Amino acid sequence: MLRSRFYSLSCLTSLSSFTSRLPLLLHTHHLKHHHQHYLTRPISSFSHSLLRSCQEVQTLRQLHASLIVSAGFEPVFIASKLIALYTQFDDLESAVLVFNVLGEPPHTVIWNSVIKAQIDLGFFDLAFLLYRQMRELSVEHDGFTFPIINRAISSLQSDVSIGEMVHCVAIQMGFGWDIYFCNTMIEVYVKCGSIDNARMLFDEMPHRDLVSWTSMISGYVCVGSVISALKLFNEMRMELEPNSVTVIVMLQACSIFGSVIEGRELHGYVIKKGYLIDGSVKNSVCRMYTKTGSVEEVEKFFCEVDKRDVVSWNILLSFYSLSGDISKVAESFNEMQREVIIPSIQTLTLVISAIAKSGCLSQGEMLHCFAIKTGMCDDIFQTSLLDFYAKCWELGASVKLFKEIHCRNSITWSAIISGFIHCGHFKEAIELFQQMQVAGLEPGAEILKSLVVAYTHLGALQLGKGIHGYLIRSLYYSSEEEYLPLKTSILNMYIRCGSISAANNCFNRMVVKDIVTWTTMIEGFGTHGLGFEALKLFDRMVEEGIQPNSVTYLSLLSACSHSGLVCEGCEVIYSMKWRYGIEPDLDHYTCIVDLLGRAGKLKEALAIILKMVVFPDSRIWGALLAACRVYGDRKLGEYVVQRFLELESDNVGYYTLLSNIHAGVQKWAEVEELRRLMSEKDLKKKPGWSCIEAKGRIHGFVSGDRSHHQVGEIYEVLGCLGRKTQDFGYVLHSCS
């Protein structure tokens, strides 16, 4: 027994780490000296009051010493309070000491207190281990022991068999129908994924109170069974009057699952019963309307609410931000200040996130100043500011804020990496990720997704494979649905980096696929000129019951265009409209024009443009102009350019393309005239650039660039390749 007890105490002691320690020797001496004396003294309510008033560990130690000297308390109950307070102040060594001097074995109340203290600190495994030691020591259980250990099991969300075992022990000890225990047991079964066991226990309970009903209703909400929750709520009303907590649970259910009619009925019930005087209920109704109602309903309810607090305003701000109404976010924030409601960190974070979507730099800077003046510029808000400045293309400000944040977590790193990617600095984003790894932080799914985007833009296939391997090793693929967007990003990375076979393997190994995944793979086949494979994959998708959308058809038409499948492309556009009822938009017509243009059917392509019900834009004319260049149709090309100039007179690309058409048929006078017009309008074509991955590093090159340290060797190899190309009978040709 002593060995078991010593093991329990060692577990507790091993968790403590202190920079300053209590003089334990003196403390122990006093405790042991007075131990027998204070066993017979009555409990003091004054001592309880003093203990409740303790705000810091030093005060608690002084009070503890005074109680020992005066011996003015009954040990069991005061000791349990001392253990709880020492644990609350992270002084586990003193908590162990109190536990250690109370005799052999300590009272049930003490064991309950120690176990509860570990749960409060989040040490659920240790709490369960202590309970096992308590059982081995045959310590009696009381009405609080099982509910306390049930908290640990619920938090661990362990296998349901552990909960069933504790349930059996409770029945054997005579606590099987204790209402307090049964209520916590319902929560255990729900958290462990056994809603049927929870309902069975609920139905067998001889007496049920408000907590019993609310726990069972909450359980149904947790597993997504809103209908069962509503049915049980109605049954409850016939037996017992729900309280505000029950109503809030039901409102949350309507919010999560978009139950509009039920939500409105609950609102009526809340008004009828007078629950709107409760601020939490008011906010729950408001939140319910933001998830299920229209803008008018949300605004109407909000205006009818009296005594609105910061939570109410945050709900409204979040609603406007998610709906994209940035002006309403600004108006609501200003009105909130006029009502002298002090904003919280969450308020400022919501507002700055909304401003980031609009890209209004001045508004964000004003909010930044406001946060500094009010002393609310903490790490959470600074991270949101960092993201805001990056989205406004002020990367320097983002970097400055990042350096000012001392406690950087994965969210902070994700924000700065995403910011660099947003601004097109992909190499720097990869370097930041490497710094994050050196700092010892585990990247989350969002960081990895951003990193995959960077590798995709750079064409860094080997680095991308490294991330894919990391994802597999880190078990990110264990949850099919949760990490589906990330897996689709990996799929897209392989496609963009030119490894269509790896992409296909990745796609076939995915158990769960949504419409985005299918569309990405169809687009990948099309990009690589595998039009027939794209058509086969589309048929396979339809066979599996996935309904195509307009983006899927756009990818399929593009695949037909790249592979020259004119008849198949026409069939696709026909089935899109008449089989699935999807009306083609300008993007689809652009693909058809490109398809016909690549096949040399320029007149048919022009006829499509002239007969369209939508107004043509520069992209569709660009597709036709590119075909004119390939097939040397100068007359049609000039006509198309005139249409271009009516839409975008300052686009240098159109002038360059027409110049190349004239050069192709030796019309040098027209070429010179176009060059003169470009010079007069100060139109300059941005130089093209490309990159290559070599030995884990990304090398970028701009047209005519000589800044690379190996420029001599590079141009020597290019010259060698050019000569070999000419030796095989090819004529090198470059267009400006």
At residue 520, the pLDDT reads: 95
At residue 515, the pLDDT reads: 94
With 50 as the cut, is the pLDDT of residue 25 above it? Answer: no
Helix (H, G, I), strand (E, B) or coil at 97: helix
Q: What is the C-alpha to C-alpha distance for residues 528 and 540, in angstroms, rounded to an integer?
A: 19
The contacts of residue 467 (CB under 8 Å, 6+ apart) are: 448, 451, 452, 455, 490
> For the CA atoms of the chain, what is the radius of gyration?
35
At residue 366, the pLDDT reads: 93
Average pLDDT of the segment spanning 659-676 = 71
Q: What is the C-alpha to C-alpha distance for residues 634 and 12, in angstroms, rounded to an integer?
A: 86
Higher-pLDDT residue of 7, 608: 608
Average pLDDT of the segment spanning 339-356 = 92
- Portion of the chain with pLDDT greater than 70, in percent: 78
Higher-pLDDT residue of 522, 646: 522
At residue 202, the pLDDT reads: 94
With 90 as the cut, is the pLDDT of residue 613 above it? Answer: no
In the chain, the amino acid numbered 223 is V
- Portion of the chain with pLDDT greater than 90, in percent: 28
Average pLDDT of the segment spanning 589-610 = 90
Higher-pLDDT residue of 729, 32: 729
- Highest mean pLDDT among 465-474, 543-552, 660-669 belongs to 543-552
Average pLDDT of the segment spanning 183-209 = 92
Query: For residue 700, is it left (φ>0), alpha (ψ between -120 and 50) or beta?
Result: beta
- Comparing 81-85, 337-341, 358-362, 616-620, which segment has the lowest mean pLDDT? 81-85
At residue 665, the pLDDT reads: 63
With 80 as the cut, is the pLDDT of residue 71 above it? Answer: no
Q: What angle do CA 561, 564, 565 make, to 5 degrees?
A: 90
Full set of structural domains in the chain with CATH: 585-692 (1.25.40)
Distances (CA, A) of 456 to 250, 411, 429, 451, 452: 45, 22, 13, 9, 6
Q: First vs last Cα of the chain: how many Å apart?
A: 90
With 80 as the cut, is the pLDDT of residue 162 above it? Answer: yes
* Tally of residues, the chain: 736
Average pLDDT of the segment spanning 505-511 = 90
SS (H, E, C) 527-583: HCCCHHHHHHHHHHHHHCCCCCCHHHHHHHHHHHHHHCCHHHHHHHHHHHHHCCCCC
At residue 477, the pLDDT reads: 59
Tokens 């319910």 belong to residue: 288
At residue 8, the pLDDT reads: 39
Average pLDDT along the chain: 80
With 50 as the cut, is the pLDDT of residue 11 above it? Answer: no
At residue 215, the pLDDT reads: 93
With 70 as the cut, is the pLDDT of residue 539 above it? Answer: yes
At residue 672, the pLDDT reads: 77
Q: Which of 604, 614, 538 is nearest to 566 (CA)?
A: 604
- For 523, the enclosing helix (H) or strand (E) is helix 515-527
Tokens linked to 350: 């919501």
Q: What is the C-alpha to C-alpha distance for residues 351 and 364, in angstroms, rounded to an integer?
A: 9
At residue 646, the pLDDT reads: 75
Pair 457, 449: CB distance under 8 Å: no
In the DSSP assignment, the letter for residue 476 is G
- Comparing 32-46, 236-250, 461-475, 479-493, which segment has the lowest mean pLDDT? 32-46
- For 690, the enclosing helix (H) or strand (E) is strand 689-694
Neighbour tally for 353: CB within 10 Å: 18
